[in-house]
Amino acid sequence: MLSHRQQNAQRIAALDEQAEALGLKRGMGLADARAMHPTIDVVEADPQAELSLLEGLADWCDRYTPLVSLDGQDGLFLDITGCAHLFGGERAMLEDMSSRFFQQGFDVRIGIASTAGTAWAAARFASERIVASGGEATLLAPLPLSALRIEPAIRTSLESVGLWSVGAIMALPRAPLMRRFGSKLLLHLDRALGRLEEPISPRMPVPTLSAERHLAEPVMLTEDIELLVKALAATLRADLERRGEGAREFELLLFRVDGAITRLRMRTSQPVREPQLVHKLFHERLIAVGDGFDAGYGFDLVRLCILTSAAYETSQIDLAGEIQDEAASIAMFTDRINARLGQGTILQAITVASHCPEQAVAMVPFEASGKSAAGSRSPAMPHLPSLQRPIRLFRAPEPIDVPATEMPEGPPRQFRWRRALHKVARAEGPERIASEWWLREAPTRDYFRIEDVDGRRYWLYRQGLYDGVEPTPRWFMHGIFA
């Protein structure tokens, strides 16, 4: 039995069938319960741990349908539309689900109906666990008002006027019920009877395509899993070809016989649909998991999902069946590296519309299509041939010491950088670079290309102007030409 603190009193939060047989009820004060039965075993409730357990069970229920949502703190909703035939029908699915939960040590109550409200009531209040379509009213009529999932205040008001069952509500005119008890009562009733749709929001994104393999004998070796991935990818290829698309994001779900689930997600830099390529990518992904991959007593269900897809452009192949596409080869190389070392390991530089040199280039995850995974950016500034930029641009400009110059607007005669004094032999500039007009607080920069007496060339700038309005200008080293 679980207890929690409510209204400055310790009350019963949950109890098993043996505790119910003793006359104990949920919400009863713990002191009253101990007075009735001093030997009862009570454990303090841990809502966070219970939520984690419920989410784990929801993940496990993905083996029956991807449309799984949480129902409060003690239930799950599964939309099994179009899935029951895969398990031999609704009755066979219910028995399989009950058996598997029992083997994991859970006592569950399951109801199947054409509406979520009726299924909820059948699981908690009725002996018949499967309700045929059209039989919702027959099942709900003898049940208590709690079967409608209405608020306690509304239920108390109904019981105070002698309405104790759902059938009593169904027999009354709707208009008086609406005026006295509000619209929520009729809303729950109409949803339970199927007169109104009740949306079920799945916890996980619904995959675009998926293929799965139920195994009579569990598999444990990564080599067997890779072969299954290749076979499932071959199944998905036909659907992708029919849609003219390729997969951009995969998810591999491995259901262990003891209820644990392993999820491996992977994104590609360009659309793919060849089973051999998918096999190579997941080969790298499984190697990257390494010791963290625990097969336990084996996996009895393997599912490969495509979460996102995009238009697929066909490429010419040679006589050996290999694609002669340099971009595709580079993309496959980066995908395998990302699968082994993590997404975003290989970056690419893209230009950004900014006059500030350190902000004109951004490093983003490599995408063969040229579009960054980090999102859309402003169009790049065109590079003018006359502008010379250093080979090495520092991530952040480094301050340098410059003595007073003969001409305030001219280059320095010498400067000290990293404790070394450099005498200037030649200089070009200034090249004035101002920030964007909406960033008025950023000072103006005057850049100079400097060559010292030893032939080393630098790119430095003066921040600020000698106009007496701004503070004394400061000098910075921003890059090296050679």
What's the pLDDT at 325? Answer: 63
Specify the pTM.
Answer: 0.69
Quick count: other Cβ atoms within 10 Å of Cβ 75? 14
* Cα gap 145→75, rounded to integer Å: 19
What's the pLDDT at 24? Answer: 82
Confidence of residue 321 (pLDDT cuts 50, 70, 90): low
Confidence of residue 433 (pLDDT cuts 50, 70, 90): confident
**DSSP-based three-state secondary structure for 221:** coil
* Cα gap 463→451, rounded to integer Å: 20
**Greater confidence, 385 or 124?**
124
* Cα gap 445→435, rounded to integer Å: 9
Confidence of residue 239 (pLDDT cuts 50, 70, 90): very high
What's the pLDDT at 403? Answer: 82
* Cα gap 457→447, rounded to integer Å: 13
What's the pLDDT at 301? Answer: 92
Residue 439 has which token pair?
């960033």
Judge whether residue 322 has pLDDT over 80.
no
Task: Give the pLDDT confidence of 255-307 residue by residue, as tens digits.
Answer: 998 888 899 998 998 899 999 999 999 999 998 887 778 888 899 999 999 99
Quick count: other Cβ atoms within 10 Å of Cβ 61? 21
**DSSP-based three-state secondary structure for 417:** strand
Average pLDDT over residues 327-352: 82
**Greater confidence, 93 or 368?**
93
The residue among 119, 128, 138 whose CA lies nearest residue 81 is 119
* Cα gap 148→153, rounded to integer Å: 13
Q: Residue 417 to residues 28, 463, 474, 476, 482: CA-CA distances in angstroms?
A: 77, 16, 13, 9, 16
**Greater confidence, 282 or 361?**
282
* Cα gap 399→251, rounded to integer Å: 49
Q: Between β-strands 2-6 and 9-14, what pairing exists: parallel, antiparallel or unpaired?
A: antiparallel
**Helix, strand, coil fractions of the chain, as percent rounded to 5:** 35, 30, 40
Q: What is the largest CA-CA distance in the chain?
A: 103
Task: Give the pLDDT confidence of 132-178 residue by residue, as tens digits.
Answer: 988 999 999 999 999 998 898 998 999 988 899 999 999 888 898 88
If you average pLDDT over each of 251-255, 331-335, 356-360, which comes out highest? 251-255
Residue 110 has which token pair?
């399951």
Confidence of residue 217 (pLDDT cuts 50, 70, 90): very high
Confidence of residue 370 (pLDDT cuts 50, 70, 90): very low
Cα end-to-end span (Å), the chain: 75
Whether residue 120 contacts residue 71, with contact meaning beta carbons closer than 8 Å, is answered with: yes
Judge whether residue 363 has pLDDT over 50.
yes
* Cα gap 67→45, rounded to integer Å: 29
Residue 347 has which token pair?
């970056």
Average pLDDT over residues 173-192: 90
What's the pLDDT at 316? Answer: 63
Judge whether residue 215 has pLDDT over 50.
yes
Residue 73 has which token pair?
């703190």
Query: Is it true that the peptide bond before 430 is cis, omega within 30 degrees of 0?
Result: yes
Task: Give the pLDDT confidence of 371-421 residue by residue, as tens digits.
Answer: 444 444 444 444 444 567 888 889 889 999 988 666 677 889 999 999 999
Q: Between β-strands 245-256 and 261-272, what pairing exists: parallel, antiparallel or unpaired?
A: antiparallel
Judge whether residue 180 has pLDDT over 50.
yes
Give me the amino acid identity at 125: F
Task: Give the pLDDT confidence of 442-482 residue by residue, as tens digits.
Answer: 678 899 999 999 999 999 999 877 666 666 788 999 999 97
What's the pLDDT at 219? Answer: 93
Give the whole-number percent of the chain exceeding pLDDT 70: 89
